[in-house]
Amino acid sequence: MATIQELRELSVAELEARAAELKQSLFDLKSKANTGVLDSTADLTKAKRDIARCLTVAREKELASAGAKE
């Protein structure tokens, strides 16, 4: 898990790439949960929150750049 400060240092493209990786990880975790292999169900929540953090920071950056253009 990256801190919010670390995420804010990344570009929008890097944030979206990280979110895509996390979505793939979430898919794998869900598959493990369905088969009963997953050790901790808390990992599902952590993955979802990490995805949300990445997408939130990416959106903040998009809005900031749109506001700077106006």
Domains and CATH numbers, the chain: 4-69 (1.10.287)
Q: Has residue 3 got a pLDDT over 90?
A: no
Q: pLDDT tens digit string along 17-62?
A: 999 999 999 999 999 999 999 999 999 999 999 999 999 999 999 9
What's the pTM? 0.88
Dist CA 55 CA 70 (whole Å): 23
Q: Is the pLDDT of residue 70 over 90?
A: no
